[in-house]
Structures are given as C-alpha cells and as structure tokens.
Structure 1
C-alpha cells in the first residue's frame, strides 16, 4: 500500500483514485495511516472526494465493531469547522456519530450531539430519528416522555409515507414497547401507510411487554406475514405469562424451522410445566438441530431439569457446557440449594471461586447463605459472610438481603443474641425483613424478651403490617401469657393493621419449600 501511494502521480485525479480504492479499512492503525495521508494531501483533493473519504473514516471509527468512538468524535470535531461546514449533506456526518453513540454504553450522548446539530441549524432527517429512537429505547430516561422525541420527528417531517419514514415509525413502535405503552405503539402502527413485518413484530412485542398476552395473540393472528421472530416472540410471551401449554401448542403449529432463541422459550415452557418427559424430548430436539452451542439455551435446559427435580441431568448439562456464564453457575448452585443438597451447593461454589471463569455475584452468595441457613450450617455460612465483609469475593458488597440471611441462619440454631448484635452492628440501615427473620427465630425458640424488641422495631418500620402482631401474640400464647396475647391483638385492631399474605423472610423467598420430582 505504501509503495503504491509513493509512486502515484501527484495529481488530483490520480490521488483521488488511489485514496478511494482503499475502501476496506480493517483496523484503527489502518484508519490513522489513511487519515494522516489525507491530511497531508487534502489541499490536492476536490471537496467531494475529501468528504467521501472522511465519511468512510468516520463510519469505520463510529460504527464498526473494531472502531473507536473517541477517535470518531475527535475526527468529527476536527473536520467539522475546517472541511465539512460547506457540505450540503452534513446531517450524514452527525447521523453517523449519533448512530455510534446509540449503540454505545452511554447512548445519552446521541442526544447531546443531536442538540449540537440543532444549535448549528442542521436539519435532522429520518435517519437522525431512527438512531435517536434506538438510543432512547436503550436508555429510557425515567423523567422523560417518549412523546417528546415523537413530536420532534413530526415537527421535522420525518413521519409520513416516504420509504425512509417507515424506519422511524418502526423505531417509535419499538420505543413505546420499551416503555410498555402498547396503546401508543398501536396508534403509531395505524399511522403507517404500509406496515412491514418489522412493524407487525414491533406492535406484537409492545403488547407482550405490556403483559397483555391475549391482545398480542390477536395481533399475531392478524399478521399477514409471520417470520421466525414473530413466532418466537409469541412463544416466549406465553412462557413468561406462565401459559406453557399455549406456548408448546404454538410451537407445534410453527410452519418454519425454529432458531435457537425460539428453543429458549420452548424450554422455559417445559420448565414452567414441570413435565420432565416433554423437556427431555425438547432437549433431544435441541441436540439434533445443533443448537447446543448457545449458552442461554443451555442455561434454560439446566433450569428446566432443576425445576423438574432431575439434578443429575441438570449437572450433566452444566458439565457439558463449553462456556459457562454467571447464570450457569448460579442456576446450578441454586438447584442444589433448593433441593437441600447443601454439600453439593457449597462444593460447586468453592469450585466457582477457584476457577478462572465467572466470578460470584451478590445472587450467588445469597443462595449459598440461604442454603446454609436452611440446613443450620453455621460455620460455613459465617465463613462465607466474613469473606464477603473483607471483600474477598471480587469486592461484592454485603447487601441488606445478605444480613437477613445471616440473621436467619443464626436465629434458626438459637444464637439469638448473636443475631441481634449483628443487626445492631450493621453499617447500613436495617429493614423489616431482617427484623422479621429475628422475630421468626424467637418464635421457634420461645424467646419472648427478644421477640418484644423485634416487634417494637417492626412497628416503627411497618406499623400497618399485622403479621408481626399475630406472631408476637402466638409467642405470648405459647409462653402461657394469654393476657399479653389478647392485648397485642387489641393493639393490632386499634391500629387497623392487617396481615399481608406472602413470605416475610429473605431466605424463604430465595429457597421455597419444594417436593422434588423423581429423576
């Protein structure tokens, strides 16, 4: 490449031809070399050729997987006032960088650039809004309204019957779906002169994200053309809505071969159904189709076997995974813990800590602590908890839920004073779940004095929760203090407190009682 540039005639035409022939930029180093050459010869090029070359450089830096957004921003900032200000297609350069920001970890930068674009009197086009809407859907500002950017698109004439407007309509539908506003998405849909399969899939997704599965199915049945994405969305929607039979029936009717994402929804339906036989057949189908490479699909199979009570097959799937994600480790550890096999849960956790792969997170440690609590494994639980407090697990912070598990662990084995002191020494504010775990332990061990202290705190935190009054009343009754029990019930009645149904302890929410199915 270097020799060809050196031997090229020093004329505008030949230089333009040579530079334009270097169309395929492959690395940032390659880009910097071309940019340096362009800067040295820019005065020899006609404006149209220099603009085209700058467009290629900017597109690679901003959009390519091998690009560099910081370099793209530098290119844009340097050339905008010097060489691009006279370009009649200046919106293209803004759009390229907006597009890059829309896919970045900080998509809000797209809007900063859009504001700069407007302050420089550069009118946006449909592509500007397509990328802005995608950025907004990836970063839905809590204080903002999707209709704001919708109004901007209308103001600048980017919603209508032109082919380029269809992309804006579809991006708007997707944005409203992200904000779980299916009716707004439907209004946009009905404004499209000729909706395509992306439009139909978008409105379908809007209803599914809005948890209106029946409306989604009605839309699905009305679709003039349904692709694998549409079928997959509907199957997955049924699975998430805990309607596994509908999901499996729709899968049976699917007229085209499914893809890996489809099978994730199908496996999730089998898990919700708890049918090991059907799940095993689906597993064989996955293997026969060569879908087993997909980590999320393997995780779904692992979860399915665990929920069906077949830990042997769950572990077989786990061991056979070439790549294990954090979800893989957490699912397998949780499966052991849920089914009472604490030794295997702790053993796998220790294997995870000693591996070079995924690091444990707060969920991993919560599951391990909960397993120790349910089996009374005080030493193991304390060891894990102390390591957490020292930051030995990649600096995972000790959260309120971890303290709740430790209080539950200590309380279950009768170490009520230690549990109370742990709450008192917490560096973060306690909550009702932590004190509720202590109160539950007081009931188990009949410690009236400690129960009174716990309920006093709980009345401050949740005065309207009647379950704590009832629990204290039962503790008094068990201790033979029937008068005190009656007084507590009267206080509860006077305050208008009502018992809220559901679990009150953290560990109960994590490790629900189950009846494992035979494998």
Structure 2
C-alpha cells in the first residue's frame, strides 16, 4: 500500500505563496494534495454510497492519512446535502491525527443537528486530544450549540475559555453593570480568564466577590480557583484555599502538587504527593515532569523508579515522554533503552510523541544508529519526528545527512516548521556548510513561509563566524529586523574565540553583558580569548570584575553511565567511592600521553596562574578527564565510553580524549553543551571544527 512516504504529487516550490498568513491555524492550510483528482471526486459525489467509494480509494493509496484530504471527506460527510453524521463520526474516528479544521467541522455539524449535546462532547475530546488550541472558529460553533439548548451558563463558560480572556472579563463586568447575577458556572469561566491573563490581583478580587455574593463554592469552582492561584504564582493563596476546602478530589490534590512543583518548591510538592489519599498516574506525572523540566533529571528518574517499585499506578505516555527526556539530559541510555523495550512488551504503539522522545533520547545518549533505527521503523512521521532526527544528525556532526533528510522530508510532503530550520542551520554550523546555511536561511520566508526569529539569526551568525566570515556576521546582526539577543552576541563572541579577534570580542561581550549582566559564560569566553593572546593581565582583570560583581563561573560537570548507574563528576571532584583509583588512573594516563608528545594547553584557564605545575594541575582536574578515567577503570574494552558534559569541552580536554582513543584503543563519545564529539583512533568526528 502506498503511504505518505510515497509522493502522490510534486511539492510546489512555494506552498505558501498564496497565503499571506502561512502560520495561521484558523483555516485549513496544509493543502499539499489540494489538486489531487480524488479530492475533486469528493465534490462531485451526490450520495453517501459514492462518498464511501471515494473513501475506499483514499485508504488504498494512503491519501486518507493526509489531514487536509481527510478533512475534505469529513466536510462532505457532515455538511453536504446528503450528510450522515453517523458516517461522519465513523470516518472521524479512523483519522489518526485530525487537524483543527476537522475538529471544528464536526463540532459545527453537531451544533446544527438534532442533538447539539454531541457538539460539547466532541469539543471536550478536542481539548484532550488535539495538539492545537481551539480558535476563533471553534467557539462560535460551541456557543451556537449552547444557544440551541438554551444553556446560557454553558455559553458564558465557553466564552470565558476562548483566546479572548479580556473579552470574557469585559462580559463579566457588563453583567455586573446590568445587575445580572452570575452563578458558580459563570465564575468558573471568569477564573479561567484570570488564569490565562495571569492576573492575580483581579483573581483575588473575584475570590472575594464570590464570598461576598455567597455564590456556591462547590468542588468545580474551588478547583478552578486553585488552578488560577497556582498559574498566577501564588501558592500561598492556593494553600489557604486548599486547607479550607471541605471536599477535595484528585484534581484538587494534583493542582496543588503541580503548583508547588512549578515554583521549584519540591519538598512541599513531595509532601502533598505523600499526603494524597490516592496517587493516580497524573500525580506521579506532575512530580516527574516538574523535576525533568526544571533541569533535575536525576530526581525525575528517582521518582520513576519509585513508581515502578510501588506498582500503585501504571506509566502512561506522559510518564514515558518525561522519563525519556530525563534520560536524554543525563545520558542514561540503559534506562532509556529499557523504557523502549517496556513499550514493546506493553504493546504500546509509537505515536508521534513517543517516537520523537525515543529519537531524542538515543541521539543525546550517543547512539545515533539506534535513533535512526527508530526513525525508519515508523511508517508515519510528523514534523516533530523529522525535526528530531535532523537534530540528532546535526549534533553528531553529520550535516550532509541532515540536509539529505530534510529533502526527504519535503518529498514526504511534511511541512517544515521553525524548529526544523533551527536544527537544519545547526547542522550546517557544526560541519562548516556555509553556502548551504545561507541558502536555507534565505529561503525560510519566501519559499517556506517561516519568518526567521532570533534563534535562526543566532545560528546564522554562528555559521558565518565559525567560518571566519566575521564581517558578514556583524553585517547580518546590524541588519536584523529584531533586536539581537544574548544568544546572537554569544555566537559572535564564540567565533571571536576561534579566530582570536580581541577587539570584536570585547564589543560582543559588552553587548551580551548589557542584556545578561550575570552571564558567566561571556566572562569565560573573553578570558579564553585574552589567554590565547597572552593578555594575562586582562584575564586577571576579568577575574576581579567577576568577584566584584558576584558572578561565579558555572562548575564543570560530567556524567557517565556504567552498568545502568549514572556517575557524576565535578571539576576537582574527590567524592566518588573510587576517587583514589580514578586519580591513580589519571596519573598513569597523563604519563602515557606525555610520552607521545601531549603538552597541556594552559590557555584554557580563567584564572591567572603563574606556576606551570599549578596550571597543569588545574587542567588535570577537569570533570571529563575524571569521567574518562572512571570509564577506563569500570567498563569493558568493547563498550564505548559515553560522557555528558554541562559546558563546552575545552581544547585541552579535546586533545586529551583524542590521544586516549588512540593509545588505549577506546571509543569515546563526549556530548558537551553544543554537540557530540566522537573520538576513535586519535581522531574526532568534529574534525576540530567546534
């Protein structure tokens, strides 16, 4: 059977040339197959039998799985003169990922039917299942259903839920002016609008209004108020309300837990979790996700292990996506691989979210081949799956392959988005593909309808800067239609480090610090530039400026997974149980390397150090060297040593790792803040271009 990977028509050069607003989701935009003859046949159908025949043909050639094509079938089956809502519902249920237009069409059809209640049911499913938010077309149809049922209160709630919170609050003020008495349902809508606007002051006024007017504070309204307080950042108000609530359900507890977790109050979140009368999977997910999204992957994995041991709830898709993300951050491939096997054993289908998470995990844990295996194993791929695989190739320095995959993505009729181009430009940056980077950047708006944002400009500055085209990079910054961000100036500063341009580096650093005065990375980069130029007095001056400003350099940290356990090392760390053996191994390694000509590169030090032996010792303590020594001690010769570092790897450690890979005949994969370095036989895949 043909699928979307089999091109049905050629992709237009500029699919958005007729669309002045290509990113709008209020209309049915994804029209790659708009001219397909089968879609024309839909418009010629005069009864349901003919429509079913077209449906069968669409299934045979794979056209049904294109969201736009499926939406045309739904429109005909639900809104045509011969419409059949039963058939429309059956068709809709077969669509794997209905687009927003399709949801709106079914809601509209039910709103005008003999059973408008169904419109609300579809709307509720849409809120749960559709990745896009309801838009200005959705709410009129739902409100129409409310008017058909004379359900004015429900209509007001729906109005309050719109992308229009300000209008909802104005409507509430209008009710007040006309002495119309709101009830609890009305106030749920008002509180929802407050939460969307993050208007804590007005939210508190609404709370007091409810009390003054003796509006029934039932469970639903109490939960809406809890949600408002936590989203507006006042966990104190939420806690007071929570303690006073005579009745609480799982939503109340989970909202309170998520509120604490969002603010980083993990101990309080844990106390709420432990006090819950019943811990369903949503509560576990809230805790795991909070740690993972706050850069605490080790804690997130600890909660996941606790969930596994407790057997109180079964992990769902949300659990696994969050846990895989934590594995990605830590480089915990053993656990990530176990989750992959678990999904297979549970018979879980790889939907887009799980596929993307697996590709990201394998890529970031250093197993690009496994990531590619997952990518090619799934028949249907959305833009995020394609983009994740392009990112994986980019971070491993396989820029040409990333570009080839982007071209295949277009052949598959999958429309790229802003993330796709960020990943594509990163691929060009990591492999020095300047012309290709220029081409893709210049095509973004005219060909693909995607307006470049600051991330894309930062990538382009990086591409030009790394290649030594500093004047062109500066010119691009000066012509930016938006204000350059710290990331743009940081990219230019990084390029100055590579090419030793002190004057431009000082300018870039100054502009960066105007935007982010406490950015320690700016000081470190400028210090390295000074050190490389032998300007040690300026290194010392920078060090003093950092001390006076209270800016501290982020300590270097590296993690390595051995036998399913993640071991972490900080610079100069001696807390590991095998610390003595690790340092002894380092002595052995250093002696061996020096015998073949290794000379420590002392320009990679922030501080001014006079004595050569002290400088050398400072380099000796870098976290990735400790992790490599541990890997040599603890892992079989056949196992690659996989290391994740929180900062950019310094030049000395890079040379160190290359020599070890040759002398010890070991494969070393080191992921730093920006990319992967794959050392083998004394060479690195970055070709010293990083």
TM-score, normalised via structure 1 length: 0.72
Match of 2:619 in 1: none
Q: SS in structure 2 opposite 1:391?
A: helix
Taking the aligned partners of 1:424 and 1:345, their CA distance within structure 2 comes to: 29
Name which structure has the greater RCO, CA cutoff 8 Å, separation 6+.
2
Measured at CA, do residues 344 and 510 of structure 1 come closer, stay the same or move farther in structure 2, by a change above 3 Å? farther
**Residue-by-residue CA offset, 1:353-384 (whole Å, 9 max, x unaligned):** 443224221x3222222222222111111111
Match of 2:73 in 1: none
Taking the aligned partners of 2:538 and 2:374, their CA distance within structure 1 comes to: 56
CA RMSD of aligned residues (A): 4.1
Match of 1:69 in 2: 139
Taking the aligned partners of 1:454 and 1:436, their CA distance within structure 2 comes to: 7
Match of 2:446 in 1: 391
2:434 pairs with one of 346, 368, 378: 378
Q: Counterparts of 1:366-515 in structure 2 under 5 Å? A: 366-388=422-444, 390-394=445-449, 396-447=450-501, 450-451=504-505, 486=537, 501=553, 512-514=674-676
Q: SS in structure 2 opposite 1:392?
A: helix
Match of 2:220 in 1: 167
* 1:115 CA displacement: 2.6
Match of 1:104 in 2: 162
Q: SS in structure 2 opposite 1:99?
A: helix
* 1:446 CA displacement: 3.6
Query: Does residue 154 of structure 1 match 2:211?
Result: yes
Match of 1:248 in 2: 305
Between structures 1 and 2, the one with greater helix share: 1
Between structures 1 and 2, the one with greater strand share: 2
Q: SS in structure 1 opposite 2:306?
A: helix
Flag structure 1 segments of 5+ consecutive residues without an equivalent: 1-23, 35-55, 85-91
Flag structure 2 segments of 5+ consecutive residues without an equivalent: 1-85, 90-105, 127-136, 557-646, 649-670, 681-690
Q: SS in structure 1 opposite 2:197?
A: coil
**Residue-by-residue CA offset, 1:78-127 (whole Å, 9 max, x unaligned):** x9xxxx9xxxxxxx844211222244333444323323333332211222
Taking the aligned partners of 1:145 and 1:196, their CA distance within structure 2 comes to: 26
1:319 pairs with one of 370, 376, 379: 376
Query: Does residue 295 of structure 1 match 2:352?
Result: yes
Taking the aligned partners of 2:252 and 2:241, their CA distance within structure 1 comes to: 10
Q: Counterparts of 1:81-230 in structure 2 under 5 Å? A: 93-137=151-195, 139-141=196-198, 144-158=201-215, 160=217, 165-230=218-283
Q: Is the CA contact 2:198–2:232 (under 8 Å) kept in the aligned structure 1?
A: no
**Residue-by-residue CA offset, 1:194-228 (whole Å, 9 max, x unaligned):** 32222222212222222222211111111122223
Measured at CA, do residues 299 and 443 of structure 1 come closer, stay the same or move farther in structure 2, by a change above 3 Å? closer
* 1:188 CA displacement: 0.8
Taking the aligned partners of 2:400 and 2:267, their CA distance within structure 1 comes to: 44
Q: Is the CA contact 1:251–1:266 (under 8 Å) kept in the aligned structure 2?
A: no
* 1:258 CA displacement: 3.1
Taking the aligned partners of 1:373 and 1:227, their CA distance within structure 2 comes to: 45
Q: SS in structure 2 opposite 1:147?
A: helix
* 1:189 CA displacement: 0.8
Match of 2:637 in 1: none
Q: Is the CA contact 1:247–1:266 (under 8 Å) kept in the aligned structure 2?
A: yes
* 1:32 CA displacement: 5.0
Q: Is the CA contact 1:340–1:371 (under 8 Å) kept in the aligned structure 2?
A: yes
Larger radius of gyration: 1
Taking the aligned partners of 1:230 and 1:457, their CA distance within structure 2 comes to: 44
Query: Does residue 234 of structure 1 match 2:287?
Result: yes
Q: Is the CA contact 2:462–2:492 (under 8 Å) kept in the aligned structure 1?
A: yes
Bigger mean CA offset, 260-269 vs 337-346: 260-269
Taking the aligned partners of 2:107 and 2:513, their CA distance within structure 1 comes to: 64
Q: SS in structure 2 opposite 1:414?
A: coil
Bigger mean CA offset, 141-150 vs 126-135: 141-150
Bigger mean CA offset, 105-114 vs 281-290: 105-114
